[in-house]
Amino acid sequence: MRVTVVGAGYVGAVSAAVLAYLGNRVTCIERDPARLAAWRRGNDPLREPGLGELLQRLDVCFAPVATDLAESEVIVVAVGTPMASDGRPDLEQVETAAAQIGSRARRGAAVLVRSTVPVGTCDRLQSGPLRAQRVVSNPEFLREGHALHDAFFPDRIIAGGPPDAASAVEALFRRIIDRRVLPGDLGGDEGSRAPVPFRWMSAASAELAKYAANGFLATKLSFANEIANLAQSVGADAAAVLGSMGLDPRIGSQFLRPGLGWGGSCFPKDTRALQAIADGMGYDFLVLKAAIDQNARQLRGFAAAIERVLAPHSQVGLLGLAFKAGTADTRESPAVALARLLLQSGMSVSAYDPAVRDLPAEPRIRVRSTLADACEAADAVVIATEWPEFAAMDLRAIRRATRGDVLFDGRSLIAPSSAAAAGFRYAGLAGFIDGTTTTKAVASPRLGTAA
């Protein structure tokens, strides 16, 4: 089929690559000149593992404008929906794309909206600018750092819209549904023969399904953080408690790892949007509000623990800027938010992240090229992103480079005993432990996967 993908961000570029791999003729539209130039050079500006290499093997045309919409049987809308000041998604890019598609696309073309949009958006577009096309909500469930695997080997495919579009959408993803001839180097379950569940529903249901999934996962993470905090208060072992929970098949071990809180391009935006949807309907979504509040409190509490120990003009060596390991994405990153709180308290911050080379949005954070440079003469080292490199770092060498002896571990990567052996006083998620007079074990849970 002839496919046009509007938007070459994480969702759009991955969708373009997957659909081209499945044998479709794909054009991907990107308006940002710098990003477009990178894609055309064969470079991946997103640094998503495996994506650049896969695109080099495929014939995907990247263009600044959609010149072949009239020939496309399927059009994928994958533009940004950033969060507005009131928590609702900003749909300007979606509206612009819909206007262009409606005026130029062929009658009956399937328009797959993969952008995360408020419930009712697809129905409104169907009765408005896209009345001549078939509008389908087709939410994505891609994890940054694992996007290709999740696209080729999904847990489910969700879509909803006009009933006569169901067969076309199912045909588009048929090889994925049947698990036929897919990349073998992405860690797919080669032994599984069960088809991928394909669920067709109304557009409104598909739109809400995306918000519901992310809202629940964010709530699970917030609950895990609350249990870890409570465990410290009552003298229990958070790792043991959460580990036992994870063995319950109704709960599962994923998203039970305490940390600084959830961030990234999806959870903060989608939870606030879901709350805005509920507020708009006059429904008080108490559980979701509590999860959002706990997430903010978790980060503030860790920052406050650092501020209680360090003098106002101290220098902090911050390890991590991305919102999670495996990506260069710093959108809504707890690490960056933590740095801003420390800067507000009068401290200076030098940071290192294996995937982040600069941070134009926050020039006060000095981004260093090596881990050692970030820790040089630091009064404290703070681990803020769960990169494996930080778990394996030479603590003795780092201690020789620092001025102070405090290690704040916001991701439970370091065993307190290892930190003490290297000459550090260890402060984990449960609060600062003064190693000068006592040696008190701090739980170091390593359960599940981070968001």
pLDDT at 450 over 60: no
Distance of CA 410 to the CA centre of its chain: 18
Burial class (CB in 10 A: 0-12, 13-18, 19+), 374: buried
* CA 422 from centre of chain: 33
| Residue 434, pLDDT above cutoff 50 | no
Tell me: pLDDT of 190 over 70.
Answer: no
201, 230, 261: which is the final residue of a domain? Answer: 201
pLDDT (mean) for 374-380: 97
User: Is the model's pLDDT at 397 over the cut of 60?
Assistant: yes
- Tell me: do 229 and 245 sit in the same domain: yes
Task: Quickly state the pLDDT bin for 439 (edges 50, 70, 90).
Answer: very low
Calculate mean pLDDT across residues 290-303. 94
Average of per-residue pLDDT across 419-425: 96
CA angle 62, 118, 331 (to 5 degrees): 60
Indicate the residue among 174, 201, 228 that finishes a domain.
Answer: 201
CATH of the domain at 22: 3.40.50.720
Is the alpha carbon torsion for 134, 135, 137, 142 positive or negative? Answer: positive
- pTM of the full predicted structure? 0.86
Indicate if 222 and 298 belong to the same structural domain.
yes
pLDDT (0 to 100) of residue 392 = 96
Query: Mean pLDDT in the chain?
Result: 91
pLDDT at 443 over 50: no
Respond yes or no: is residue 266 known to be catalytic.
Answer: yes
Lowest mean pLDDT among 96-100, 186-190, 234-238, 352-356: 186-190
User: Residues 166, 212: one domain?
Assistant: no
Query: What mean pLDDT comes out for the span 88-97?
Result: 95
317 lies in the same domain as 210: yes
Whether residues 414 and 449 fall in one domain: yes
Choose the catalytic residue: 28, 122, 266, 375: 266
Question: Are 190 and 213 members of one domain?
Answer: no
Q: What is the model's pLDDT at position 85?
A: 82
Clarify whether residues 436 and 295 are in a common domain: yes
The proportion of the chain whose per-residue pLDDT surpasses 70, expressed as a percent, equals: 93
- pLDDT digit string (tens) for 111-134? 999 999 999 999 999 999 999 999
Condensed to tens digits (0 to 9), the pLDDT of residues 192-233 reads: 678 999 999 999 999 999 999 999 999 999 999 999 989 988
Residue 168 has pLDDT above 70, yes or no: yes
Provide the pLDDT for residue 376.
96
Residue 179 has pLDDT above 50, yes or no: yes
Q: Of 128, 112, 94, 119, which Cα lies nearest the Cα of 161?
A: 112
Domain assignment of residue 108, given as a range: 2-201
Do residues 426 and 420 lie in contact, with contact meaning Cβ atoms separated by under 8 Å?
A: yes
Which residue(s) pair with 409 in the sheet? Answer: 383
pLDDT band at 189 (very low <50, low <70, confident <90, very high): low
Q: What is the pLDDT of residues 301-323, one digit of tens each?
A: 999 999 999 998 999 999 999 99
Residues 349 and 447 grouped into a single domain: yes
Looking at the structure, tell me whether residues 187 and 217 fall in a common domain. Answer: no
Q: Kindly write down the DSSP assignment for every residue of 142-174, as one continuous string.
A: PPTTSHHHHHHS-S-EEEES-GGGHHHHHHHTH
Say what percent of the chain tops pLDDT 90: 83
Same domain, residue pair 246 and 361: yes
263 and 290 part of one domain:
yes
Q: Answer yes or no: do 146 and 194 share one domain.
A: yes
Is pLDDT of 5 > 80? yes
| Total number of domains in the chain | 2
Closest CA to 381 of 353, 402, 407: 407
The answer on pLDDT for 60 being more than 90 is yes
Q: Which of 143, 170, 201 is where one domain is finished? A: 201
The SS3 assignment for 140 reads coil
